[in-house]
Amino acid sequence: MPQSPLTHSVLLSITLLACALPASAQIDEPNINEKKTQITKIVQQISAQRIDSYVRKLVSFHTRHTMSETQSDTVGIGAARRWIKAELERCSAGQLDVQFDSYVEAGGRRISKPTEIVNVVATLKGKTDPGRYYVVSGHYDSRATDVMDATSFAPGANDDASGTAAVMEMACVMAQHRFDASIVFMAVAAEEQGLYGATHWAKQAREKNLNIAGMFTNDIIGSSRSEHGEIDNKSVRLFAEGIPAVKELPDATRNLIATGGESDSISRQLARHVKETGERYVPGFTVNIIHRRDRYLRGGDHIPFLEQGYAALRFTEPNEDFHHQHQNVRIENGVQLGDLPEFVDTDYTANVARVNAAALASLALAPAAPAQVQMNTSQLENDTSMRWNANTEADLAGYRIVWRDTTSSVWQGSVMVGNVLSYTVKGKSKDNYFFGVQAVDKDGNISVASYPMPEKK
């Protein structure tokens, strides 16, 4: 049964104070239940009107096909990326470091000639932990029915001007705020040709050993209306992989499976955090975690990050209308086909952007997830003892232990345990619950949970 974190934390801090400190000393228990003013402000600042104007501007380039025109100032992918870069520089008044990240792809299944693949990458450097990164992306390339057709009108309003516009709006709003960790806002190219842009960036990140503590891609977040006309503008799907589909299982994954932790992968832990934060700051909006990597027959820019071993998620609208994806703009049997801006509901897209921004802000304000969390398995017992390495953040307040039933997808109970490096949850058996350990700072910002691995003997 869920237990009140407040009651527990109050009792615990009294116990800790009693045994560790003289009576006059005061520790302010971080307030984890209060909404953070900064995050509320960011969520309020996100504007559906600006997202709408970005979508329409992106559509105006006629096509953003990866092999389209690059010299023109008004048509093709070259003009589109130069506009995105200039707009991010303008709106952030120098707070974002905006760069082109580019390479030449010699050729491939969906690249018929050597093509420069260019991502627009805007980095907001963290204050106290700049080496920890959170990445958020949308892809700015588009396509028509034939994936090799680089000249037909390919508005790509939903797929994926919606995601690109959401990321641009988040970048412009969040650039006015400061965070502990760094945030990277990316408009990615060549998604439609085979995830080339994201693959290039994720590979470089792994080679440089960048600490990417979480990545979200926003792809097809523009429509609240399904093919059959149902409207759902109150939810978004969040695709979260469990066990990575790799040929050789690393030890960490083997341990995860051996302890029943299929749903405690780093991507699922991240998804829980996004759901909790997103729903808290965007009331009435539901984040539906889908326990799989992506939809059947489809992929997205989170996949190259997953393949490099990072936690990565995909946001997509609840009901897709396939009349308005990957289709030449035309009327057939009286039905308008094509990915046109009139089928995009930017009020809806703005809410998805708010969920993203709330989650990103909360992650980038919070400490890192605790490292080396271990479950004591030295004896048969009905208590649960864990230990972990100390976090290094200067504003660290302590740790919080969370748990849930083995059939539940989200955390159900929690206890604040103070600034300690081990803790025993009495009377709750590790055999019957999943546990996690989170780090909490003095302002009450909470990290993603870490899954305890069985202690090495």
d(CA 188, CA 339): 19
371: nearest Cα among 392, 385, 356: 392
Report which secondary-structure segment, H or E, holds 51.
Answer: helix 48-59
The one-letter amino acid code at 130 reads P
With a CB cutoff of 8 Å and minimum separation 6, the contacts of 134 are 181, 182, 183, 184, 212, 213, 214, 215, 360, 363, 364
Shortest spacing between CB 225 and Zn ion, in angstroms: 18
With a CB cutoff of 8 Å and minimum separation 6, the contacts of 37 are none
Shortest spacing between CB 348 and Zn ion, in angstroms: 17
Shortest spacing between CB 176 and Zn ion, in angstroms: 29
Question: Nearer to Zn ion by C-beta: 324 or 400?
Answer: 324
d(CA 56, CA 445): 37
Phi, psi dihedral angles at 104 (to 5 degrees): -100, 120
Shortest spacing between CB 158 and Zn ion, in angstroms: 9
Question: Nearer to Zn ion by C-beta: 56 or 326?
Answer: 326
Question: Nearer to Zn ion by C-beta: 338 or 413?
Answer: 338
Shortest spacing between CB 220 and Zn ion, in angstroms: 6
Question: Nearer to Zn ion by C-beta: 5 or 299?
Answer: 299
Shortest spacing between CB 191 and Zn ion, in angstroms: 5
Residue numbers at the binding site for Zn ion (CB under 5 A):
159-160, 219
Question: Nearer to Zn ion by C-beta: 129 or 219?
Answer: 219
d(CA 356, CA 10): 32
Shortest spacing between CB 354 and Zn ion, in angstroms: 21
d(CA 29, CA 51): 39
CA-based radius of gyration for the chain? 23
Question: Nearer to Zn ion by C-beta: 46 or 221?
Answer: 221
d(CA 34, CA 317): 29
259: nearest Cα among 437, 406, 409, 422: 406
SS (H, E, C) 215-239: EEEECCCCCCECCCCCECCCEEEEE
CA angle 204, 210, 214 (to 5 degrees): 105
Question: Nearer to Zn ion by C-beta: 303 or 361?
Answer: 303
Shortest spacing between CB 137 and Zn ion, in angstroms: 11
Question: Nearer to Zn ion by C-beta: 29 or 160?
Answer: 160
d(CA 18, CA 105): 64
